[in-house]
Structure 1
């Protein structure tokens, strides 16, 4: 059975475009910019073409075009205008819209062409910070509001992972230039949200350090094993949904007791750090609120 979502409510359109449902209704009624389907109970439903058109209209509107003028344009003129006005100011909005459409349509070609266009104008770091990090945040919200399915999230996440792996591989052939510490990066037990940790692995290698990337769902015993092979370890743990907030402080204490020593440090980052008791911070344990904070310290 095909469960791919290709029909959207007006609330879905609001979540995907940032245009309030009330405004969409006004644009639709006054200017006839969209052509929704109607259920037997007169509820509006929109197809993928309506979503694409509204994303383009949104970009034009943000760029100063009046909705009354946009509504008079032939349908094929709207995407032409979008392409003509793409500039440094609007490239982020355009790229975000294109990546969303790629996600909704499971369109790998659109994702890759959008990415290649960005990479011709920006560095990979700029693309990740300016586009991918906000996109990942929006994807989480869209999933929570049932605007997209888990299949959409996995599809777009996998493509971003591909780009991270390709760029990280280019660094892995280089000999580390800084030897005062080794970074061990991991996700705790039952944690699978890997994109943020993968990007930190890229940044740390870019700064000349050796990294040991352990990936998702790593038990404490495995961290103790790594100590047998390296000195001056900085452990980097990314917590998005695990450990559960109710036990995260217990987890931190366990790591400090079982893993850390005088020559090692423990860095934690991710959504769950908001639940960590800040009194647990110490000389060898640091809580970070964002990837930017870690990058600035490297």
Structure 2
């Protein structure tokens, strides 16, 4: 799992491109679209170049080009045609594919070029919701299916994290309009998936509110220290993998007892671990959200 991948199985190609393995085999046989190598036991495997070609072919096919037409093109003409189509394409498919290729090739320049190209026509928030969030969803699936390694995931998330920090820092130099209410953003013990929380922090700061970003793996008892400094706190957290499903109900109960002792304090929370609890049983001071956008509407 920790070795950098340079070759891919046909199942990897299916996961990365969305094209069924059966269809890939047909395209190989009928159009000679890819030329896989084979192991000693006659199992297909593919290079990064083959993956890149298939991503481009998939993009053109989804934009109305027949596979027979694409197969007749010179291999070096396909990327140029993709570029021309992408310039008039209002969807985000091409950008997401470019981000995936930058991750697979550890190509920082491709990431930055794609990112800056999107930023010419979109705000940072639009870029994140329309391109980065779908990308992160796909990365999660690719990691779970062993299509990518932890090195790939860390590479792309580090680049995204840096961009969020840059945009947040630009906003923090401006005056804050709301100095009475404070938002405290944190992740519970052993939770390290902080990109979603970082975007919420950006949105809070963008609206002129005060925010204290504590980040990963914060014990509940550490949060108690804030109660002596502020009278009106909205705690915000994101439960991706922690607390675990057998512990999340107890965690919510403990949080309420330790940190919601003042009527003015609140707890806003989102993440897939909320699926493990009865949301209707939560005290009124705790508000669950399905998505970041839903939470942002509440600001």
Q: How does 1:248-267 map to 2 (within 5 A)?
A: 248-260=248-260, 261-267=262-268
Partner of 1:56: 56
Q: After alignment, is 130-139 or 82-91 more displaced? A: 82-91
Q: How does 1:29-108 map to 2 (within 5 A)?
A: 29-87=29-87, 89-108=89-108
Q: How does 1:220-259 map to 2 (within 5 A)?
A: 220-259=220-259
Mapped to 2, the partners of 1:126 and 1:5 lie a distance apart of 32
CA distance 1:88–1:254, shift in 2 (3 Å): farther
How far apart are 1:90 and its partner, in Å? 4.9
How far apart are 1:3 and its partner, in Å? 2.0
Q: How does 1:91-170 map to 2 (within 5 A)?
A: 91-170=91-170
SS of equivalent to 1:212: strand
Mapped to 2, the partners of 1:244 and 1:274 lie a distance apart of 11
Partner of 2:191: 191
Gaps of at least 5 residues in structure 1 are: none
Partner of 1:291: 292
Mapped to 1, the partners of 2:98 and 2:268 lie a distance apart of 35
Mapped to 1, the partners of 2:269 and 2:277 lie a distance apart of 10
SS of equivalent to 1:256: helix
SS of equivalent to 1:5: coil
SS of equivalent to 1:189: coil
SS of equivalent to 1:188: coil
User: How well do the aligned residues superpose, as a CA RMSD in angstroms?
Assistant: 1.2
Q: 1:105-151: CA deviations, max 9, x gaps?
A: 11111101110111111111111000000111110100000000011
Partner of 2:206: 206
Mapped to 2, the partners of 1:287 and 1:264 lie a distance apart of 15
SS of equivalent to 1:157: helix
Which aligned segments of 4 or more residues in structure 1 are displaced greater than 4 angstroms? Answer: none
2:270 counterpart of 1:269: yes
Mapped to 2, the partners of 1:29 and 1:279 lie a distance apart of 55
Gaps of at least 5 residues in structure 2 are: none
How many matched pairs? 297
